[in-house]
Amino acid sequence: MNSCQEMADHFYSVILTLLDEYLPIIPQCIYSSDTPWVTPQFRWLVKRRQRAFLSGQTSLYRKLHNQTNCLATSLRKQYFQRKINSLHSVDPHSWWSKIKQFLHPSDPNPYCSL
């Protein structure tokens, strides 16, 4: 390697090769309609539950339905716990504004009357 350009090209080819081998890009689908606590594991469990329902496997469907509900409850709980824990380090004004955002979303349902 005689020139700086050759050394830089070699460096980048080695780095990119190692990145592709040890840190591969894994495609992941994220839908805009998903709630923030939905994970790929939860989505996979819902797909299994729906396949069991459509194929008429009632006992498997019931089992997966219970697992899905338990996982949804725990994921929701963990999500809000993380959100609340992150608020402990901010000032009271920010804390209350974030709590209001949790309790009263900015997109209220126009069909609900209070």
Report pLDDT digits (tens) over 77-108.
998 888 878 777 777 888 788 777 777 766 55
No. of helices (H) and no. of strands (E), the chain: 4, 0
Per-residue pLDDT at 6 exceeds 80: yes
Contacts of 7 (CB under 8 A, 6+ apart): 1
Contacts of 64 (CB under 8 A, 6+ apart): 45, 48, 49, 52
| pLDDT level of residue 111 (50, 70, 90 thresholds) | low
Go through the chain and tell me how many residues it has.
Answer: 114
